[in-house]
Chains A and B, each alone.
Chain A
């Protein structure tokens, strides 16, 4: 549309910025709206389009989760600790999008330091789900998913450590992809759980997700955990044909706490996959699924406790004004700068790594991790993909789970195992229960994003969930 000159990037960007002005008081997707930067980038994009040098992402307004470094623009991680932090460099994924002529309309809200499942842990206030302002958008990439759902950006970037792209994508009825660990560079992503974190696209449909993945994927010498393998054209995988693909449905993901309406929607989606010609086998068992929660909530906080040790008030970030000695300053800085969930996770992680407990907790979790990974590998020798609900429930009410951390952790039960094994996971819209979104999760072999995108795309084209928009009541 931009290439044909129907509308310029500046016009599109201005329209999006106006829409953000009209809607964000109610939704609060954004920590920072970057009006001037966006319009400047849009002007450049239009010049580029005019001389025929546009690519699919040129001139397209996007929102970036506020835990990815954007040079010259505040990057807060929705934390008081980094409230005034302006990075001097771009994350690799941001740099790659810039090279394609992206237009960045703003930085989106998240659970503080990406720790949470509802965006309620943001130090700057929760984001309201565009489908029902009294409910959470999910987390931790709730700002990004709300922005795409509410047309405040054409696409967004999120990050996923235990489900933080997929779960909020499910809650906001948008597409969310967590690539295989190592597929996308983590350089410039503020580290939370370094063996679990991945950046991924949040989009209105699967085709857009493939387009964004084409751009952000690839080896990066600045990230030694990124793999050195070519990036295929993921859009070529979107053939619309899934006949003969073998899909397994693991029973352990249909937990007792699963809401009846969600179960109905997921079962209808599975039937649709069968109608499309996939060979579906129900009642597959991944018996180690129940251990993923403990495995994740020992490994992730342990890694977080190491990654967040850098926030000491020395070189950047918050520093207390109320301390006499070095240790006092450091301890008070961290007490003031971190919110309760971040402190909780640092404490769990510190404990799991401490002398006397390392073997019982951290080492055991790392061993469990290999067993979970092997179990997935065995499943993928029989199936091309596994399909599950993205979440056992529809978006819950704001405040509903904030008193009980365990309850909040359980809302990620369908997404956690995927990060532990490092495999890719896609969430696509699959219906509504009383107007509240349900997400379908598609899991694939490591580095086989092509297959899960193909399945997601075929399902999407055979339904019209992706065309339904929230009302955005005033």
Chain B
């Protein structure tokens, strides 16, 4: 199973990672090798059972009661850029 450069670039775009040309080549080879191995393994077995949910935990709820949270300065402490008590980012809307 060979992944083309085009496919690798598509996956990188979905994953929002700007790969270099060398990385695209390298990952194209490595991912083809890895996924090829898996293809072989997966083809040997035919299965249609339900996915596993460990400990059969589902629908774990808590009461809808608000509790104190962190102070604003704690939340902003690790921010790359702050302005007026907000996270500053590149424009989202053009």
Contact = CB atoms under 8 A, between A and B. Distances in A.
Same complex for A and B? Answer yes
Interface of A: 84-86, 88-89, 181-182, 195, 221, 224-225, 227, 290-291, 293-294, 297-298, 305, 309, 312-319, 323-332, 334-335, 338, 340, 343-344, 346-348, 350-351, 354, 360-361, 363-371, 373, 405-406, 409, 422, 446
Contacts, number: 153
A77 to B, nearest CB: 14
A354 B89 contact: no
By secondary structure, the A interface counts as: helix
A350 B31 CA distance: 12
Given A182-B55, A406-B34, 7 more contacts: A227-B55, A313-B80, A344-B30, A344-B34, A351-B11, A361-B42, A368-B45
A348 B92 contact: no
Given A350-B15, A363-B51, A316 B78 contact: yes
Contacts of A315: 75, 78-79, 87
A348 B19 contact: no
Size range of the chain B interface in the assembly: 35 or more
24 contacts: A195-B54, A224-B60, A293-B41, A298-B38, A309-B16, A314-B80, A317-B78, A319-B80, A326-B92, A328-B18, A329-B89, A329-B90, A331-B18, A338-B17, A347-B8, A365-B42, A367-B49, A367-B51, A368-B47, A370-B49, A371-B47, A371-B49, A373-B52, A405-B30
By secondary structure, the B interface counts as: loop
Contact of B17 (A85, A331, A363, A446): A331
Contact of B52 (A317, A329, A364, A370): A370
B83 interface: no
B51 A346 contact: no
A344 B49 contact: no
B17 to A, nearest CB: 5
Contacts of A329: 89-90
